[in-house]
Chains A and B, each alone.
Chain A
């Protein structure tokens, strides 16, 4: 056990830091560009220099870096305010699924452009009738020669409006129980028959969409996994999703809360001296540090070639509610002014209130807290499922409401 860099790791860290210092886009370079444009500019620059998706095979634009080196790179990159969120789904979830199931020519065609940020991918899983019960999805695909024809509706599709491609799970056989009748495809988001409608979130922003499919045609060659194997393929995506979301938790952190507690007063003394404040901060730190070191331990498993397992659900399960509670706590420290969401009056407002307002979404996206808890109970602790009314019943006979 050694939490310090080896000499090789230190050298890698130094070369990453040097490159970042010389290449992070300057204010002048990003002047007049929106976040997506800045993200694409930065991603392409990393790709051209061999610093994009560094864990991937060099044939697809990576540098075959180890899991530890990937963490070192992330730690160094996190020191700069560079946008990254646009590529998380494609690079963190779709790419591992493609690597597991796609044909070699697809990997050559799609992975380099995923790495370079030239093409963005989205994930079309959830439906109005199936959120937590994902496998109850109803969007159907029917075979027509060498193609499939897709009809139905997806929802909560992050980034569909700026995505070039997407992975979609559809029902190809309603006569068998729900998990057995699914298949998994990747599609061109510009295909005729796809209609994208943004959803306005409670934050006022629109990060995700409803996506309607009307007679959308997709070649059979874009199927990942066998017909009827869609659920297993989806699980590969979902496990990577939980790892990707948990690891990428930004927003408020204990360090920020401590700075704040040093500045604001309680009963004439800095809040940081108040024992109730200390107790809360300590508990938040136990979670924050515990998650960090848990992810480090997971690395050792990944370094041996393991795929992310159900124990990764802990990152999102702990991280998302912690973000919500810590943001709420920071607002409480500021008393009434904690509710000011005006960056001209409060420079912390965007971070703190942004976290508070975004956290409810994070607790739901990619599997709710409750589903994450079930996953730990069932797949880590091996406890039995609740009895399921739809078990073993052909999907078309399952009662709906």
Chain B
């Protein structure tokens, strides 16, 4: 047993933090947010040049063939930096899906491009409000042709390839489609989300060409499996964000004086920050286990993923919310950076299933194994 990241992984963390401190300052996040840009293309290019997009992709497909333990280290730093890039859509969702389910040809076509950053991927699941189940999906695929509308799709407006969840009459009720988004039969309409620094879109498929990804009628099981790995990878972004929000609150409280002393000396503030620390620590420890379970393919991966996800949602929302509260009125202004974490925390908490959904999955998993 060994419960620490290796020295190499910690060096990778330092390297990622240094790179993002230099290349993704909050002024860059602010510019993207102010202008409602879909992403920062130069930053994403730089990240790809650093090899981060290639981390877990096998070497034969142009990747680095490293483990998920290296990927979570990078995820945490991207979360800290609130990086406005399509990294999660491309790496945690599209690349993971193609690696797990793709044919040799599909892997050859897409993985090298996702690895070197020349292509962006996305994952298209929801169509209407509420939790998605197979019977609520109306997007359909038949004879290599796809029809339907997906919204909101993270990075859908800039992606080159989409993994689209379609309904299926047989099997588990769903089939995954791999769709090249450069076709005319795909319409993209930008959708503004709570976080203006992360582009989302409505994708409409009007008889576009599509390939089956994985097995027909086995799409829902594939989605559930994909969600387990995504939950853990997103959790690390959320933990990075939560820690950054705590640091920002701490720094502000120390420097802000009221009634003749630093507000950081009042128990009302100290206990608030200590509570943030406790939630962040529990989330991090759960995500340690999640990362290991994902990497090792542990038998309790589903429970580990749900635990990581629920803890990360709770910690990141709490830290982002209480960071604003600690700042008082200034925290509520456009000018202060607190809003970045508040927006991003909420967006991430809904990105791959809400807290309620994952609480359900967690307890179902525990009850099944108890």
Contact = CB atoms under 8 A, between A and B. Distances in A.
13 contacts: A1-B5, A262-B367, A275-B356, A282-B358, A283-B310, A285-B362, A285-B366, A290-B281, A376-B277, A377-B273, A378-B270, A381-B270, A384-B254
B124 to A, nearest CB: 27
Interface stretch (B158-166, B185-193, B259-267, B334-342): B259-267
Nearest to A290: B282
Most buried by A among B6, B265, B296: B265
Most buried by A among B261, B275, B370: B370
A281 B363 contact: yes
B281 A384 contact: no
Given A317-B278, A318-B282, A378-B270, A384 B265 contact: yes
Contact of A282 (B264, B291, B293, B310): B310
Contact of A278 (B250, B265, B359): B359
Nearest to B370: A258
Interface in B243-296: 250, 253-254, 261-262, 264-267, 269-271, 273-275, 277-278, 281-283, 285-286, 288-289, 291-293, 295-296
A153 B138 CA distance: 76
Contacts of B4: 1, 297, 300
Contacts of B363: 258, 272, 277-278, 281-282, 285
Interface of B: 1-6, 69, 250, 253-254, 261-262, 264-267, 269-271, 273-275, 277-278, 281-283, 285-286, 288-289, 291-293, 295-296, 298, 306-307, 310-311, 314, 356, 358-360, 362-364, 366-367, 370
A234 B313 CA distance: 39
Interface stretch (A3-11, A205-213, A220-228, A238-246): A3-11
B286 A289 contact: yes
Interface string A353-377: 0000000000000000010011011
Interface in A286-310: 286-287, 289-294, 296-297, 299-300
Contacts of A381: 250, 270, 273-274, 277
Interface residues of A, number: 53
A387 B267 CA distance: 11
A290 B370 contact: no
A247 to B, nearest CB: 14
Contacts of B288: 1, 293, 296-297
A344 interface: no
Contact of A294 (B69, B282, B295, B314): B282
Given A290-B311, A377-B274, A4 B1 contact: yes
Nearest to A369: B271
A6 B5 CA distance: 16
Which secondary structure dominates where chain B touches chain A? helix
Given A282-B359, A285-B366, A383-B264, A290 B286 contact: yes
B366 A2 contact: no
Given A279-B359, A297-B288, A318-B282, A387 B3 contact: no
Nearest to B267: A386
A272 B359 CA distance: 12
A135 interface: no
Contact of B1 (A6, A254, A259): A6
Nearest to A383: B264
A312 to B, nearest CB: 11
A293 B360 contact: no
Most buried by A among B5, B275, B295, B363: B363
Nearest to A72: B1
Contacts of B310: 282-283, 286
B262 A4 contact: no
A383 B69 contact: no
Nearest to B1: A68
A68 to B, nearest CB: 5
A293 B1 CA distance: 12
Interface in A259-280: 259, 261-262, 272, 275, 277-279
Contact of B3 (A1, A291, A314): A1
Nearest to B264: A383
A217 B37 CA distance: 78
Interface string A150-181: 00000000000000000000000000000000
Nearest to B69: A1
Contact of B289 (A5, A293, A380): A293
A266 to B, nearest CB: 14
Contact of B270 (A259, A277, A300, A374): A374
Given A282-B306, A285-B307, A293-B288, A383 B265 contact: yes
A255 interface: yes
Interface string A105-129: 0000000000000000000000000
B262 A255 contact: no
